[in-house]
Structure 1
């Protein structure tokens, strides 16, 4: 499995390097007059956009995981309460006096 992981990492790095070398043209970024004009290479613009998306998605994943953990905790508490309720409503076992089992 380590070999497959290493090969995938090498292929991804090779893609990133070749992509960067092929897309070095500068692009001027301008948003009305709010942001000063900035010249950025195309590959940097794409990588920065990708990283912003990864961070945003990771943040949403953390929020979702937190909500799911809260739901799991609430449901486990409900299960414990229902089990206690079942045990409390069960009739205790009836043992008749004078009845003994014969041992062989």
Structure 2
């Protein structure tokens, strides 16, 4: 769709422009580097679900959730015990509760 003058100019330019010549050594180095980067990437980010094991970040999240749940359960038990001790009138119902009530 271009004009004939454009095609002539393009042909003249291609005739005098040398073709691209790549250095084989550089091409090999680029290949080695690409291979090494892919290996490192595969080691750092293993395919999820390849052996049906959760990814490390998911394991960490599950562990934190379990720890938080255990802390919450312990806090609820302690609060219930303190409340039961208050209701019964005995302050010694929960060992160590006096240390938590005092401030520095």
After TM superposition, the score normalised by the length of structure 1 is 0.40
Q: Which has the higher contact order (CA 8 A, sep 6+)?
A: 1
Return the structure number with greater helix share: 2
After TM superposition, the score normalised by the length of structure 2 is 0.40
Higher Cα Rg: structure 1 or 2?
Answer: 2
